[in-house]
Amino acid sequence: MLRRAHANVAIGAAALLVLALAAQAGEAAKAPPLAVVDPGPAGGPPADAIVLLGPGFDDAALAARWTNRKDPERKAPPPWKVKDGVVTVAAGTGDLVTRESFADVQLHIEWMLPPREKAATDGEDAGNSGIKFHETYEIQILDSYGKTGNALGQAGAVYKQHAPLVNVTRAPGEWQSFDIVFRPPRFEAGKLAADGRFTVFHNGVLIQDNARILGRTNDSRPMPQEYALPFFLQDHGGKVSFRNIWVRRLAPRAE
């Protein structure tokens, strides 16, 4: 019996040693089973995505997902119209805001800049729009093709907070894409418990790498404390076009 007890102790010690070595190597002792998601057709949304604009959309389908941000009750139909699955900013009519609220998400969106109406500058005078998550935190859309100045305001910037790592903006008239992971700030008992974050790929190139949200973009008011809120596409006067917009809801980021 004494010999068997010694053997059991030895086996237990060996198991603990295996776990300790795994921890030292940065390995998890056990991982939960993976969810299986159909990635969908090449270039299309995955099976678990919510499609906000896509092929076959008409004005009615758009109205089911979006509304006019100028409407205080958020019941009015969108002020922008759909043609062949593409919606273009109707300048002066107001922003296009989602009817649903979102928290942690992966967003895919394709956009195209209008033709330049004046000589290229480093200012914000052409093709200006943006995606404002929680109606608060903006990823800039701008005609930044070939530009190097005003880095905090160029396409792909976390507006006035983080410049894109590189400028990969295509020329006006060409379709471009953003793939964005948005992690909203989290509050507990009225206090900030976790910073918000942005990771952004522009035309497949990493331009924001887990960038920390520093507060409202271009606004000094306190950040909203709601975990889930709508986001909107900005009417800034530029006739920017959009297509193939979809989101995937994500679990909250582990701290």
Residue 17: what pLDDT?
54
- Residue 244's nearest CA partner among 24, 19, 99, 82 is 82
- Residue 182's nearest CA partner among 129, 95, 249, 245 is 249
The more confidently predicted of residues 228 and 26 is: 228
Where residue 3 falls among pLDDT bands split at 50, 70, 90? very low
Running DSSP on this structure, what letter comes out for residue 117? S
Residue 7: what pLDDT?
47
Cα distance between residue 58 and residue 137, in whole Å: 28
DSSP string, 148-205: -S-GGGSTT-BTTTB--SS--PPPTTSEEEEEEEEE--EEETTEEEE--EEEEEETTE
In the chain, % of residues over pLDDT 70: 85
Cα distance between residue 86 and residue 252, in whole Å: 31
Residue 255: what pLDDT?
64
Residue 231: what pLDDT?
98
**CB–CB of 140/161 below 8 Å?**
no
Helix (H, G, I), strand (E, B) or coil at 20: helix
> Which class in CATH covers the domain with range 32-249?
mainly beta
The more confidently predicted of residues 73 and 64 is: 64
| pLDDT of 151 higher than 70 | yes
| pLDDT of 172 higher than 90 | yes
- Residues 131-137, mean pLDDT to the nearest whole number: 98
Cα distance between residue 236 and residue 188, in whole Å: 34
- Give me the phi and psi of 219, to 5 degrees please: -160, 135
pLDDT tens, 188-222? 999 999 999 999 999 999 999 999 999 999 888 99
* Average pLDDT along the chain: 88
The more confidently predicted of residues 198 and 147 is: 198
As given in the structure block, the two tokens for residue 203 are 């035309």
Where residue 4 falls among pLDDT bands split at 50, 70, 90? very low
Residue 238, number of CB atoms within 10 A of its CB: 22
| pLDDT of 179 higher than 80 | yes
pLDDT tens, 40-58? 888 789 999 999 999 999 9
- Residue 113's nearest CA partner among 98, 97, 125, 99 is 125
| pLDDT of 243 higher than 60 | yes
